[in-house]
Amino acid sequence: MGYTMQRGNVGAFQDKIGHGNSLYLKARDFEQARRIRPIIWLYKGQPCDILTYLEGWHVEKQKDAKGKITEAERPVRFETDQPIPEGYNWKMSSYKGGKEQPQTPKPCIAMLVWDYTTKSLKVPSFTQAAVTQQISGMLSPTDKDGNPNELFVEDLTQVDFIIQKNDDKNYTITTQAPKGGTAIPKDCLAALADFEWSWDAFMACVRIEDADEKLTYADVVDIITSGPGDVPEQPVKPKKEQAKQENKTVDKKVDETETDATFNYNKNWKTVKTPKGKILGEQNVDDLIGFKDALEERGKTENNPLYDAVLSGIQDMTNPQGDDAEF
């Protein structure tokens, strides 16, 4: 034959047939061993390398265009410590011919990752106990008895996961040093340049295309590397001298901290951490004012739980009558 068939880009076609274009990865996508690298993002204004939550499927009755009643399933997601409200019509299912039972919300994990197979950003999620139990063992520095956990990984974005589905109940999960070192691969950075994502929208079961607020990777890096946690430390002073100095400055700082900003008071502000891991309750009033100024300068005030917590702390620390007054 003296000519070559023009069939388009067969290689690209085969890649798409084999792996699909969906942003989301499911269990079936791991039937062959797959290597992924978690990417840091933000959830509720805080750094997030993996998201843990509960997920169930609610069945709703609705009318189609012809007035016929049909059933539609939609996911519902909850925080793991959130009570499940009543009133949901959970999807019924049976396992291998057993009795049908309602599928109440199950523990799930999800990650934003760089997928080495498709060289693209993906969001895998798992409900399978074989996966959630293995990864859950990496999330806490101590075990249930308070002993050090040798499997603990402080930052999952610093490792590659290799996940393979062996059968419905068995998965092999290993972690390795990332290919090419801990720096994010160049092709991943290129993909992140025009990528938008929101874990908050994901938890609200809102399609990312319809989300009101989405973050870019530049937003994430800006908050993590230039956030209030980078405000210079105050010079270390003896505790008595520091206490005296803080007592003297409280009255002076009251006027400086007054703001017209509206915020939601958070009585648990002392436990809130900055993106750099600083606990607000361990800071003095000058530190909190520095955090406040940094957030305001960068326009990170609206619907920001960290900003609310900072202002709550300033209010308590400059109000001797407050429940949490320290002076």
- Residue 30 banded pLDDT, cuts 50, 70, 90: very high
What was the pLDDT predicted at 261?
56
Q: How far apart (Å, rounded) are the C-alpha atoms in residues 40 and 125?
A: 16
Q: How far apart (Å, rounded) are the C-alpha atoms in residues 131 and 108?
A: 9
- The one-letter amino acid code at 307 reads Y
Nearest Cα residue to 326 out of 270, 263, 260: 270
- Quick: pLDDT tens for 257-299: 444 457 788 888 888 877 766 788 888 888 888 888 888 877 7
Can you tell me which residue has the tokens 């003297």?
248
- Residue 248 banded pLDDT, cuts 50, 70, 90: very low
Can you tell me which residue has the tokens 């619907």?
303
Please count the other Cβ atoms lying within 10 Å of the Cβ belonging to residue 1. 4
DSSP-derived secondary structure for 69-109: EEEEEEEEEE-TTSPPPS---BPEE-STT---EE---EEEE
- Residue 7 banded pLDDT, cuts 50, 70, 90: low
pLDDT of residue 8 exceeding 80: no
pLDDT of residue 229 exceeding 70: no
What was the pLDDT predicted at 174?
95
Backbone angles phi, psi at 163, to 5 degrees: -120, 135
pLDDT of residue 27 exceeding 70: yes
Higher pLDDT, 23 or 95: 23
- What is the model's pTM? 0.63
User: Are 55 and 133 spatial neighbours (Cβ–Cβ below 8 Å)?
Assistant: no
- Quick: pLDDT tens for 201-221: 999 999 998 998 899 998 898
Please count the other Cβ atoms lying within 10 Å of the Cβ belonging to residue 113. 24
pLDDT of residue 98 exceeding 90: no
Nearest Cα residue to 130 out of 112, 106, 105, 147: 106
What was the pLDDT predicted at 1?
62
pLDDT of residue 161 exceeding 90: yes
